[in-house]
Chains A and B, each alone.
Chain A
Amino acid sequence: MENRVLIVGGGLNGPALALALAGAGLPVTLIDARPAPARAEAGFDGRAYALALASRRLLQGIGVWPQLADKAQPILQVKASDGRAGEGPSPLFLHFDSAELDEGAMGHMVEDRHLYAAFLAQMQASPGITLIHGQTVVAQDITASGAMVTLANGDQIKGRLLIGCDGRGSGTATRAGFRRQGWAYGQTALVTAIHHAKPHQGIAQQYFMPEGPLAILPLPGGHHSSIVWSETDAQARAIQALDDADYLTALRPRFGDFLGEVALAGVRFTYPLSLSLAESYVAPRLALVGDAAHGVHPIAGQGLNLGLRDVGALAEVLVEAVRRGEDIGALDVLERYQSWRRFDDTAMALGMDSVNRLFSNDNSLLRMVRDIGMGVITRTPALRRAAMRQAAGLSGPLPRLLAGQAL
């Protein structure tokens, strides 16, 4: 029997893992509940990802970066500061400049429509990947020798290993009986894109407001930015209900006038924020990747970057196991992935959680502490570079694909 890997979930982590595994010779079946997308390129809707440098390397390794390179905006500087609506940023803030890193840009902004299109085209061109669109998994069965999923249409598909890339509400994890821990933040992210009169110069801005963080992330062309704006649930509901003009009026004082006149340029999305950690990432013949394992607070865009680190680590563990002659579904093989990733993911999830709690707060003492802390990091080159390497995804034991090496 062949070493087929079943991947449930066709978002971004699933396709990335499918491409990494198929590239190393493992046959993959990817099951996506969404229907096959139309071939025509989707229009601009403002949704975008901040890809850390390490994530960009992984995309290079699995062959999708060439299609994205000219559609991506390099992040040349990151500025983070404390703020209060109407007051603008505090004088003490974090400032990172890519010129200080040997590796170049700390990251890239890539629009969701381009990213998924590139993954899809690459999967369709990959003979080792069987794509199933528009089918949900209704049952899964794990035996000593393999994993089998039953689709809504009754089809049954067998493999050696089942991987859940099906998000924070992972059906794969639920059917396997994995317990989860987590909580809602009482915050909702408002996401949209703006057009601004002054160029962004490749600078990503993050303001920590008492209501929740606001990120302004540079998009290609110089005059568009993606806005990720967190507010309390009630406030977010109220803002989302406003018409475009009033929405903009609510947004404008929150980030001052350094970008000149602004106008809405994208669809307005909302995402309730919550933390959701699976108590285990693996079981015999089963593994969870990305949000299915750890749905984090999306501060600093670390959700996709963490997911791609999982992808890089799991692909490396599995390919190494194949070359060693091991059973890729064996628990001791999968535990290598879990022990590699779980600490990093949990630390990141809880780190994001505490950053959010520390900053989403108007206590004057906390404000002083965090302003001084950010000032100290900004003025200390070694600390600053360490924080930048963390943000660029270059810290910790890196999977080979994220270090720019082949599997």
Chain B
Amino acid sequence: MQTTIDPAEVAKFEAMAAEWWDPNGKFKPLHMLNPCRLDYINAQIAAQFDRDLKAPLPFKGLRLLDIGCGGGLLSEPMARLGATVVGADAAPRNIPVAQVHAEQMGLSIDYRHSTAEDLAAAGERFDVVLNMEVVEHVSDPLAYLTACHDLLKPGGIMLCSTLNRTPQSFAMAIIGAEWIMRWLPKGTHEWKKFITPDELYDLIRKAGLTPVDRKGMVFNPLRWDWSLSDRDLTCNYVTASVRTG
């Protein structure tokens, strides 16, 4: 752990970490989505670097950046699978929270209060960049995706998920998740900033990366869980892109 935390603050951060990591708490929608996201991320990384997911520590030797890491919901699984993980978040309060939780779990993760643009400018390079549920929140998606490109080593892979701009996503993400279920605070999402898969592919190519795969992430209200879909990209979807040169 690089940052030292004021001991007086630890209890507060532990309480906040417990909140982040409570599967039935404030971040329930992310916990519910997490297995589905992880299945996609893991399969794509394994395919790109020819790793066996049934072997112990399949991601050993890979340097991975988790942008918008929050409490570490993706950083921790990646560290458990053996990756060397840097978790970055623009919100400074998330960093010590993620740090205390990783420490409780016995995981070594380098959490930083930073942005993709700053890390790229500092010359940081990664085999894998996780860019999950971030692009719909940034002001200049092309500049942001270009920074993601710069953060990747040649042969590296970026996983990027976001929300499609469709009537279904308006119904689901705004009316359903924010207004009715209260899963997310009102105003979390601005529907007009949602990006269609074709627009995202276009932006990714302009940023210098090559899109290689995309899948929908579909919520099934009967089974009350998420699964990957080849056809239904109308709401949440996730893409994989590689840096070829």
Q: Which residues of A contact B (CB under 8 A)?
A: 1, 25, 144-145, 323-327, 330-332, 335
Contact status A325-B106, CB under 8 Å: no
Instruction: Report B-chain residues with C-beta under 8 Å of the C-beta of A325.
Output: 38, 42, 76-81
A-B contact pairs, 11 of them (CB 8 A): A323-B53, A324-B35, A324-B38, A324-B42, A325-B38, A325-B81, A327-B76, A330-B21, A330-B23, A332-B31, A335-B23
- CB-based contact B38/A326 at 8 Å: yes
In the complex, whether B178 has a CB less than 8 A from a CB of chain A is no
3 pairs of A and B residues whose beta carbons are closest in the complex: A325-B77, A1-B106, A332-B23
Provide the residues of chain B in CB contact with A25, threshold 8 Å.
56
A326-B81 contact, Cβ under 8 Å, with A144-B14, A331-B24: no
Residue in contact with A326 in the complex, picked from B18, B35, B106, CB distance below 8 Å: B35
Chain A residue at minimum C-beta to C-beta distance from B37: A324
From A145, A324, A331, A335, B39 is in contact (CB under 8 Å) with A324
Q: Given the complex of chains A and B, what is the CA–CA distance between A328 and B134 in angstroms? A: 27
Closest chain B residue to A331, Cβ basis: B23
**How many A-B contacts if CB must be within 8 Å?**
44
**CB–CB A327/B38 < 8 A:** no
For B18, what are the chain A residues with a Cβ–Cβ distance below 8 Å?
144
Instruction: Give the shortest distance, in Å, between A91 (CB) and chain B (any CB).
Output: 45
Does B105 sit at the interface, judged by CB under 8 A? yes
Given A144-B14, A330-B23, A331-B24: A323 in contact with B54 (beta carbons within 8 A): yes
Give Cα A327–Cα B23 distance, bound, in whole angstroms. Answer: 12
CA distance A313 to B195 in the complex (A): 39
The prevalent SS among residues of B at the interface is helix
Q: Which residues of B lie under 8 Å from residue A331 when comparing CB positions?
A: 23-24
Q: Name the distance in Å between A280's Cβ and chain B's nearest Cβ.
A: 13
Which residues of chain B are near A332, meaning CB under 8 Å? 23-24, 31-32
- Is B104 an interface position by the 8 A CB rule? yes
B residues 56-84 in Cβ contact with A at 8 Å: 56, 76-81
Which A residues touch B53, using CB under 8 A? 323
Return the chain B residue nearest A319 by Cβ. B54
Chain A's nearest CB lies how many Å from the CB of B227? 14
Residues of A within 8 A of B35 (CB): 324, 326
Contact with B105, one of A323, A324, A327, A335 (Cβ below 8 angstroms): A327
Instruction: Judge whether A145 and B105 touch: CB under 8 Å.
Output: yes
List B contacts of A145 (CB < 8 A). Answer: 104-106
Known A-B contacts: A144-B17, A323-B54. Give 20 more (CB < 8 A): A25-B56, A144-B14, A144-B18, A145-B104, A145-B106, A323-B42, A324-B38, A324-B39, A325-B38, A325-B76, A325-B77, A325-B78, A326-B34, A327-B80, A327-B105, A330-B23, A331-B24, A332-B31, A332-B32, A335-B23
Query: How many Å from the CB of B35 to the closest CB on chain A?
Result: 6
